């Protein structure tokens, strides 16, 4: 708490100064006139404000103090909020599920926080099989709702993540069949930085629709309604398998074989390696390999045989519903893993030694830096050809994903909240340098959902110059670029 208070005082007095505070307060005062009292809250001690402030997966962001929080219930409200913010020259942020770990992407200090959490309506059209939902739900809520129709929407692999996921592409257990979450978009309602409310689809504002399919949130406008192609679901064969460290070589081989050879689009995996800060004492009890194995259907055939053949410590494979699948390994995983969390990303192809290099670099760093993290993990996420084919078949997305197979690597560092600012910065710098040591594959996009802001992921897209033009068109005077956080377009 002391650390956060000090950090807060530093943040408010140093970079923002009095004018930042004044602009935030002016925007809030103005918006109080245009929005009914249930839609704006400046009471920093009220339960509603505190709940919004607390609800970030990267806990560092909970130390920021918005001048007020706006709770829109319509596109019109979002439009009013953006206009009031613009008139006051205030900083702001747009928040859906609050899971992006990058500071100021969905958090703001001394400015207006637009919390989309009150916009939770969802609908299913049985004639068209299209699903329409507002941005304020978590994917777990959407899955529970659509499961009643034996349908689902393509979204997060963990129930607790918010709808901003799809604006960054969105990798689902169903992606090898249907493409990224954004590939299932059919129509979006968008409030532009000007406040104008427009539709984006492949026939109306198709350039905006293109950019919003994986080109990032809080850049081109605010999505207030998603209409997406829903997908059928029934029973799954899924679970976690946990291995002791001495099986790492065998499991790593099985993961690489799966990335390279698996051709069954109903089979989906995440390979995760975890390291705890506790000393190893030569017993390797500080590390484990945890597989997420998910098959869309009750019979996985031999899809996971390479994994189940390896002796393991724990195996929860069995028949599950989709809502159960996204609560693996345990319900509330995203809530329980809240902390001072930072992500980084890598992208590689099978066929060189990058898999082993990435793993070795991470292990070496994790051994040498035991004091600077409370948990660290490295996750391997296959992008099979079936996924990139499914994406193309629906028109492609802002990444214009080259043909699979290739894979993304997600690195996580969770730091103890007791670290001083200097030790925190040092830990993050070493973590950054470790990730940099493993060269990324040429010509493949970094996954923005797993990226740190300083990795400039959009610049790795083959579509970057097109995205820069679209950004210029829809945010012509750089209102979003100047006043809220987000990916660099420079």
Ligand X SMILES: Cc1cc2nc3c(=O)[nH]c(=O)nc-3n(C[C@H](O)[C@H](O)[C@H](O)COP(=O)(O)OP(=O)(O)OC[C@H]3O[C@@H](n4cnc5c(N)ncnc54)[C@H](O)[C@@H]3O)c2cc1C
**Residues contacting residue 6 through CB under 8 Å, at least 6 positions apart:** none
CA 47 to chain centre: 26
CB of 180 to ligand X, least distance (A): 8
257 binds ligand NAG (CB under 6 A): yes
From the list ligand NAG, ligand X, none, partner contacted by residue 95 (C-beta under 5 to 8 A by kind) = ligand X
CB of 279 to ligand X, least distance (A): 27
**d(C-alpha 384, C-alpha 52), whole Å:** 38
CB of 162 to ligand NAG, least distance (A): 25
**d(C-alpha 142, C-alpha 317), whole Å:** 24
CB of 161 to ligand NAG, least distance (A): 25
The first and second tokens of residue 243, run together, are 């291995």
From residue 246, how far is each of 29, 316, 364 by CA, in Å? 61, 20, 16
Which residue, 165 or 350, has its beta carbon nearer to ligand X? Answer: 165
From the list ligand X, ligand NAG, none, partner contacted by residue 445 (C-beta under 5 to 8 A by kind) = none
Which residue, 326 or 366, has its beta carbon nearer to ligand X? Answer: 326
From the list ligand X, ligand NAG, none, partner contacted by residue 150 (C-beta under 5 to 8 A by kind) = ligand NAG
Identified binder of ligand NAG from the candidate list 246, 330, 465, 490, rule CB under 6 A? 246
From the list ligand X, ligand NAG, none, partner contacted by residue 164 (C-beta under 5 to 8 A by kind) = ligand X
From the list ligand NAG, ligand X, none, partner contacted by residue 259 (C-beta under 5 to 8 A by kind) = none
261 binds ligand NAG (CB under 6 A): yes
Which residue, 245 or 326, has its beta carbon nearer to ligand X? Answer: 326
Residue 305, burial from CB neighbour count under 10 angstroms (0-12, 13-18, 19+): exposed
Q: Closest by alpha carbon to 211, among 197, 192, 230, 231? A: 192
Please state the φ and ψ torsions of residue 198, each to the nearest 5 degrees.
-130, 170
**Residues contacting residue 318 through CB under 8 Å, at least 6 positions apart:** 237, 238, 239
Residue 132, Cβ neighbours under 10 Å: how many?
19
CB of 93 to ligand X, least distance (A): 6
The angle subtended at Cα 94 by Cα 90 and Cα 100, nearest 5°, is: 125
319 binds ligand NAG (CB under 6 A): no
Q: Which stretch binds ligand NAG (CB under 6 A): 348-356, 380-388, 431-439, 474-482?
A: 474-482
From the list ligand X, ligand NAG, none, partner contacted by residue 100 (C-beta under 5 to 8 A by kind) = ligand X
Site for ligand NAG in 56-95 (CB under 6 A): 80, 83-84, 87-88
**d(C-alpha 51, C-alpha 44), whole Å:** 10
From the list ligand X, ligand NAG, none, partner contacted by residue 369 (C-beta under 5 to 8 A by kind) = none
From the list ligand X, ligand NAG, none, partner contacted by residue 239 (C-beta under 5 to 8 A by kind) = none
Residue 274, burial from CB neighbour count under 10 angstroms (0-12, 13-18, 19+): middle
129 binds ligand NAG (CB under 6 A): no
CB of 246 to ligand NAG, least distance (A): 4
Q: Closest by alpha carbon to 366, among 245, 191, 249? A: 245
Q: Are 191 and 206 in contact (CB under 8 A)?
A: no
CA 438 to chain centre: 22
Site for ligand NAG in 284-303 (CB under 6 A): 303
478 binds ligand NAG (CB under 6 A): yes
Radius of gyration of the chain (CA): 22
Which residue, 247 or 337, has its beta carbon nearer to ligand X? Answer: 337
Q: Are 140 and 332 in contact (CB under 8 A)?
A: no
The first and second tokens of residue 309, run together, are 């053949």
42 binds ligand NAG (CB under 6 A): no
In the complex, the residues that contact ligand NAG under the rule CB under 6 A are: 30, 34, 80, 83-84, 87-88, 149-150, 202, 244, 246, 257-258, 261-262, 303, 306, 394-395, 477-479, 482
């Amino acid at each position: 708490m002391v650390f956060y208070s000090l950090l807060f005082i530093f943040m408010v007095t140093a970079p923002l100064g009095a004018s930042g505070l004044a602009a935030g307060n002016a925007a809030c005062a103005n918006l109080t006139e245009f929005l009914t009292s249930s839609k704006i809250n400046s009471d920093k001690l009220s339960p509603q404000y505190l709940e919004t402030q607390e609800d970030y997966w990267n806990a560092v962001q909970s130390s920021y103090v918005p001048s007020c929080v706006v709770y829109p219930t319509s596109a019109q409200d979002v439009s009013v909020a953006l206009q009031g913010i613009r008139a006051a020259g205030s900083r702001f942020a747009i928040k859906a599920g609050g899971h992006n770990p990058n500071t100021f992407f969905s958090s703001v200090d001394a400015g207006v926080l637009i919390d989309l959490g009150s916009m939770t309506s969802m609908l299913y059209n049985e004639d068209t099989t299209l699903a329409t939902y507002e941005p304020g739900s978590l994917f777990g809520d959407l899955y529970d709702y659509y499961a009643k129709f034996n349908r689902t929407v393509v979204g997060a692999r963990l129930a607790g993540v918010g709808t901003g996921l799809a604006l960054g592409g969105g990798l689902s257990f169903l992606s090898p069949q249907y493409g990224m979450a954004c590939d299932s978009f059919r129509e979006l309602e968008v409030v532009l930085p000007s406040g104008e409310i427009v539709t984006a689809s492949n026939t109306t504002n198709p350039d905006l629709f293109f950019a919003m399919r994986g080109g990032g949130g809080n850049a081109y406008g605010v999505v207030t309604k998603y209409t997406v192609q829903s997908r059928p679901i029934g029973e799954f064969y899924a679970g976690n398998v946990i291995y002791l460290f001495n099986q790492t070589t065998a499991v790593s081989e099985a993961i690489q074989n799966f990335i390279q050879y698996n051709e069954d689009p109903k089979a989906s995996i995440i390979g995760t390696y975890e390291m705890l800060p506790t000393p190893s004492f030569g017993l390797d009890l500080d590390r484990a390999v945890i597989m997420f194995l998910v098959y869309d259907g009750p019979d996985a055939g031999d899809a996971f045989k390479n994994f189940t053949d390896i002796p393991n410590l724990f195996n929860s494979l069995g028949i599950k519903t989709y809502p159960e699948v996204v609560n693996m390994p345990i319900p509330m995983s995203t809530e329980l893993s809240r902390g001072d969390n930072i992500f980084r990303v890598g992208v590689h192809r099978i066929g060189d030694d990058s898999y082993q290099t990435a793993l070795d670099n991470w292990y070496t760093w994790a051994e040498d830096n035991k004091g600077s993290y409370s948990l660290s993990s490295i996750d391997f996420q296959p992008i099979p050809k079936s996924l990139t084919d499914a994406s193309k078949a629906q028109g492609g997305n802002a990444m214009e994903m080259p043909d699979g197979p290739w894979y993304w690597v997600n690195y996580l560092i969770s730091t103890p909240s007791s670290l001083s600012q200097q030790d925190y910065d040092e830990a993050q710098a070493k973590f950054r340098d470790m990730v940099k040591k493993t060269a990324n594959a040429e010509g493949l996009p970094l996954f923005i959902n797993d990226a740190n802001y300083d990795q400039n992921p959009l610049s790795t897209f083959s579509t970057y110059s097109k995205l820069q033009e679209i950004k210029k068109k829809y945010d012509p005077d750089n209102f979003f670029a100047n006043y809220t956080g987000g990916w660099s377009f420079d």
